[in-house]
Chain A
């Protein structure tokens, strides 16, 4: 009796685990670490791939706590598409090990990181020498907030997908061209809009540096130059001086960061603080383009 139970229980677990990620569709499974990467993958892969995203909108990918379901989502993945530059280093390696999927380990064909396609941005325009000391360009992972960087990575993704699924290679390349057209068409409009509406800004962390570089927005400083380390009162005093000198009108804060310090600084300097998303709801090409539309519309509204 016990012997038969001993053999049945593992089989049941195996069955449950294999069913959990979803019914097999025969399409290549692409697992993405953040929502915007899921949109980029869907933009290139369309209905020829199955996209799964590990983190949700508004979750801080630096401190994500994976659940067993996330490991199961990687079980049958053909490609793991990551941001890179250390963003997921706190939780992704153990998740890959737990998934026991050898196809997606770093260095294999089933692993693609943004850091394979681009270099992290250098010191942004407008930053002071004091802030430069704390700047680590090689560790800024938020490249998806620059549409041109997103396009560069999408090109590498399209090539990798074509190698994994040769039958649909031409369709991946066709969708890449559509993505390129959409971004090239929208970019001048976004830049013009930002030129009219935006003065230099202060941000909480370095999250929006790629976005600012892409939209030609000047960075006046960071509230927390070293992530996770409380700034000093002297640093905040200097930021208030900078706000007045450079006529800064807005402070941008990520959805998952502590807003109290940013609000206090904004109140002390008599300017506004706004929460800016780093991902929005939406699927594929439309979702990715919509993210920039929403960011720009929100900045313009708060700048008035």
Chain B
């Protein structure tokens, strides 16, 4: 029974996170998931300190963080990873100070940050799938590099990542967000999404059964299986020189042809897959 829920839960994130991970990787904002999760956890602790429901406080602080991130232009000269890292350490430190003042707080906050795939039941899986679908619907469609476009992207991202980390833990979420996308990454750009999805699903099934057969912790075993498959796939792609051909950017004289797409993500426009 528990084996089945573990398998289904890992399959849900194997379907939702790799495609999202590709969007995260191309924007060079890998720390965004840790930052958002920490902001939510700190909000939860703040809620406990102020004696208001932790979930509402977590939603409020996450919304503030999403607004803050949306102000940052995608072409900003600032190193975005450093900004995300800064948000993470700031939120973690606030959380730590709050924790030191709250009896019984640390267990709940740790639970919020480091959920376990073993703790998720059918209701939790349904909620995870629902949040993932809503998050993907917001984050995946191309968005303009405007405040509202970025807001939609980060809101979608937080709708998937925060509940997923709460439900199954930061280890699995970070692994599924980064590893499949990284494995099929080629010539400096994202590879086909179906490749990332396939290897993620394969790792979920194989990792869950290997963990059960060898009596090992499922989260770490699934991550190790995913890492193994990702390294093999990545090495194969690298040495066989597979991948999209990068089309040179248009010359200045051709700018008028792209006016209708000028607000789409610049990275998406530069990649065309080989026939």
Chain A residues at the B interface, C-beta cutoff of 8 Å:
56-60, 63, 65, 67, 229-237, 240, 254-261, 263-265, 267-268
Q: Are A259 and B118 in contact (CB under 8 A)?
A: no
Chain A CB within 8 A of B3 CB = yes
CB B109 to nearest CB in A, in angstroms, measures 10
Contact between chains at A57 and B103 (CB < 8 Å):
yes
Contact of A258 among B3, B5, B119, B211 (CB under 8 A): B119
* A268: contacting residue among B2, B116, B208, B218, CB under 8 A: B2
Give CA–CA (A3, B213) in the complex, Å.
Answer: 72
Contacts of B116 in A (CB 8 A): 230, 258, 260-261
| Residue contacts A-B, CB under 8 angstroms, 12 given | A58-B105, A230-B118, A230-B217, A233-B212, A240-B2, A254-B107, A258-B114, A259-B107, A259-B119, A260-B120, A264-B119, A265-B2
Interface string of B129-144 (1 = CB under 8 A from A): 0000000000000000
Give the residues in chain B near A260, CB-CB below 8 Å.
111, 115-116, 118-120
Question: For window 111-166 of chain B, which residues contact chain A by CB distance below 8 Å?
Answer: 111, 114-116, 118-121
Cα A265 to Cα B214 in complex, Å, equals 20
Answer yes or no: B100 CB below 8 A from chain A CBs.
Answer: yes
Q: Shortest distance in angstroms between B239's beta carbon and chain A's nearest beta carbon?
A: 35
Closest chain A residue to B7, Cβ basis: A233
Contact flags B194-210 to A (C-beta < 8 A → 1, else 0): 00000000000000100
Q: Is the CB of B218 within 8 A of A233?
A: yes
Top 8 closest pairs, chain A to chain B, by CB: A260-B119, A58-B104, A256-B107, A230-B217, A58-B103, A233-B3, A261-B119, A233-B212
A264 touches B107 (CB 8 A): no
By a CB distance below 8 angstroms, the chain B residues around A264 are 2, 5, 118-121
Shortest Cβ gap from B70 to chain A (Å): 31
Tell me the bound Cα distance from A258 to B212 in angstroms. Answer: 21
Shortest distance in angstroms between B268's beta carbon and chain A's nearest beta carbon? 38
Contact: A59 with B215, CB < 8 Å? no
Q: Does B110 contact A (CB under 8 A)?
A: yes
Pairwise interchain contact A232-B119, C-beta atoms closer than 8 A: no
> When the two chains form their complex, are residues A240 and B115 in contact, meaning their CB atoms are under 8 A apart?
no
- Give chain B interface residues in 1-52, CB to chain A under 8 Å: 1-3, 5-6
Cβ-defined contact, B100 with A234, below 8 A: no
- Would you give the shortest CB distance from A72 to chain B, in whole angstroms? 15
CA distance A259 to B109 in the complex (A): 12
**Cβ of B260 to closest chain A Cβ, rounded Å:** 49
Q: With CB as the reference atom, state the residue of chain B lying closest to A264.
A: B119
Give complex CA distance A221, B223 in Å.
27
Cα A236 to Cα B216 in complex, Å, equals 11
How distant is A246 from chain B, measured CB to nearest CB, in Å? 19
Is the beta-carbon distance between A232 and B120 smaller than 8 angstroms? no
Query: Hey, which chain A residues are within 8 Å of B5, CB to CB?
Result: 264
Asked if B211 and A233 make an inter-chain contact with CB atoms under 8 angstroms apart, the answer reads yes
Across the interface, which residues of B come within 8 angstroms of A267, CB to CB?
121
CB distance from B264 to the nearest CB of A (A): 41
Name the residue among A56, A63, A65, A230 with the largest chain B CB count within 10 angstroms: A230
B219 at interface, CB cutoff 8 A: yes
A60–B106 CB distance below 8 A: yes
Total count of chain B residues near the partner, CB < 8 A: 33
Interface of chain B, main secondary structure: helix
B111 in contact with A259 (CB, 8 Å): yes
In addition to A240-B1, A254-B107, 12 A-B residue pairs with Cβ atoms within 8 Å of each other are: A230-B116, A232-B211, A233-B208, A233-B212, A235-B215, A236-B118, A237-B2, A256-B107, A258-B110, A258-B111, A258-B116, A265-B2
Nearest CB to that of A63 among chain B residues?
B106
A224 to chain B: closest CB distance in Å?
Answer: 10
Cβ-defined partner of B217 (8 Å) among A231, A237, A257: A231
B107 touches A255 (CB 8 A): yes
CB distance from A298 to the nearest CB of B (A): 15
Cα(A239)–Cα(B106), bound, Å: 27
Q: Is B96 an interface residue (CB 8 A)?
A: yes
What residues of chain A lie closer than 8 Å to B105, measured between beta carbons?
Answer: 58
Once bound together, how far apart are the Cα atoms of A67 and B3, in whole Å? 42
Counting chain B CB atoms within 10 Å of each CB, the highest count among A65, A231, A257 belongs to A231
Nearest chain-A residue to B104 (Cβ)? A58
> How far does the alpha carbon of A67 sit from the alpha carbon of B104 in the complex, in Å?
18
Across the two chains, which residue of chain A brings its CB closest to B167?
Answer: A260
Chain A residues lying within 8 Å of B63, measured Cβ to Cβ, are none
Taking the closest CB of chain B, its distance from the CB of A118, in whole angstroms, is 27
Cβ-based interface call for B231 (8 A):
no
Q: Whole-angstrom distance from the CB of A205 to the nearest CB of chain B?
A: 12
Q: Which residues of A contact B106 (CB under 8 A)?
A: 59-60, 63, 256
**Contact, CB under 8 Å: A67 / B100:** yes
Asked whether A237 and B119 contact (CB < 8 A) given A57-B103, A230-B218, the answer is no
A229-B217 CB under 8 A given contacts A63-B106, A255-B104, A261-B119: yes
Across the interface, do B100 and A65 meet the contact criterion of CB distance under 8 Å?
Answer: yes
Chain A proximity of B261: nearest CB distance (Å) = 45
| Residue ID in chain A nearest B218 by CB atoms | A233
B216 surroundings in chain A (CB, below 8 A): 232
In the complex, what distance in Å separates the CA atom of A178 from the CA atom of B218?
51
Question: When chains A and B are docked, how far (Å) is the Cα of A267 from the Cα of B213?
Answer: 23
Q: Which of B100, B219, B220 has the most CB of A within 10 A?
A: B100
